[in-house]
Amino acid sequence: MTPEGQALLLEGTAELGLKLTAEQVGGFARLLALLTESSAQMNLTALREERDILLKHFVDSLTVLLGEWLDRPAQGGPLRVLDLGTGAGFPALPLALVRPDLQMVPMDATRKKVEFVERAAQALGLAQVHPLVGRAETLGRDPQQRESYDRVVTRAVAALPVLAELALPFLRTGGLLIAQKGPILPEELEAGTRAAAEVGGAVRAVEPFSLPVADDARTLVVMEKTAPTPDRYPRREGVPGRKPLFWQAT
């Protein structure tokens, strides 16, 4: 990481209220190098410039900490967190670097991306990260995965009604989905609210904010799991995305 890059990372994370240690900065530098090396060989992420990776992957991933939805509960063990559609490890890897107390499961349908996340987690010494390959529609029906997470995080994966159907089955009652999104249209929010109710959840918060330094518009949407998900959800692979509940995708 260049000195300018390090200054940018520190500025962006400071705006989120985080004070990175020298060891954490070293972890981000290593992750940047691994991502840049691997992207040259395979199509891992569209972002190639150091500034873009630092702001739009690393700092953006850490905005999931705004609102304190991932704070450690006063009682009970560590939070078990699923990152649904992690891609090259976002937000899972930046989050694991600053929050080693989280039991993190980055999950994606694409094996080569999950293999990268596994290699990166090993190289960074993140023993609490346990990647998983598969589709949410299928893993969400696996008794070992269903209703077994305290939190689901997900960034840039799908529209809200699709996320509700894919993510809420993984949560125990009382658990939270924290979706990192761009600006949200009222129609998407309405469909997401109805879809959440259909699969055993409710929208708890919609928080618009600006990405530090870059100023791009972002929204955190939080849904709470309020009741067990009916057995018919999620529908079979591909159907939630093709026919989102209560929503006509344009």
**Residues forming the site for ligand SAM (CB under 6 A):** 85-87, 90, 108-110, 113, 135-137, 155-157, 166
**Residue 230 CB, nearest distance to ligand SAM (Å)?**
19
User: 124, 128, 142, 164: which is closest to 23 by C-alpha?
Assistant: 124
Least distance to ligand SAM from the beta carbon of 75, Å?
31
Nearer to ligand SAM, 138 or 173 (CB): 138
Query: Reading across the β-sheet that carries 217-225, which strands appear in turn?
Result: 132-133, 103-108, 80-84, 149-155, 171-181, 217-225, 201-210
Closer CB to ligand SAM, 21 or 45, in the complex: 45
Nearest to 202 by CA among 249, 168, 236: 168
Residue 109 annotated in ligand binding:
yes
Q: Closer CB to ligand SAM, residue 85 or residue 131?
A: 85
Structure tokens at 204: 């708890």
In angstroms, what is the minimal distance from the CB of 138 to ligand SAM? Answer: 8
Report, in Å, the least distance between residue 45 CB and ligand SAM.
6
Residue with Cβ nearer ligand SAM (80 or 135): 135
Long-range contacts made by residues 121-128, C-beta under 8 angstroms, separation at least 24? 121/89, 121/93, 121/96, 123/30, 123/34, 124/27, 124/30, 124/31, 124/93, 124/96, 124/97, 126/93, 126/96, 126/97, 126/100, 128/78, 128/96, 128/100, 128/101, 128/102, 128/103, 128/104
Question: Is residue 85 marked as binding?
Answer: yes
Smallest gap, in angstroms, from Cβ of residue 77 to ligand SAM? 26
108 labelled ligand-binding: yes
SS3 category, 59: helix
CA distance 191 to 177: 16
Please say which residue, 140 or 201, places its beta carbon nearer to ligand SAM: 140
Q: Please check if 136 is assigned to a binding site.
A: yes
Instruction: Tell whether residue 90 is among the known ligand binding residues.
Output: yes
Q: Least distance in Å: CB of 165 to ligand SAM?
A: 10
147 marked ligand binding residue? no
**Smaller CB separation from ligand SAM, 44 or 191:** 44
- Contact in structure between 180 and 154 (CB atoms under 8 Å): yes
Q: Which positions make up the binding site for S-adenosyl-L-methionine?
A: 85, 90, 108-110, 136-137, 155
Q: Which positions make up the binding site?
A: 85, 90, 108-110, 136-137, 155
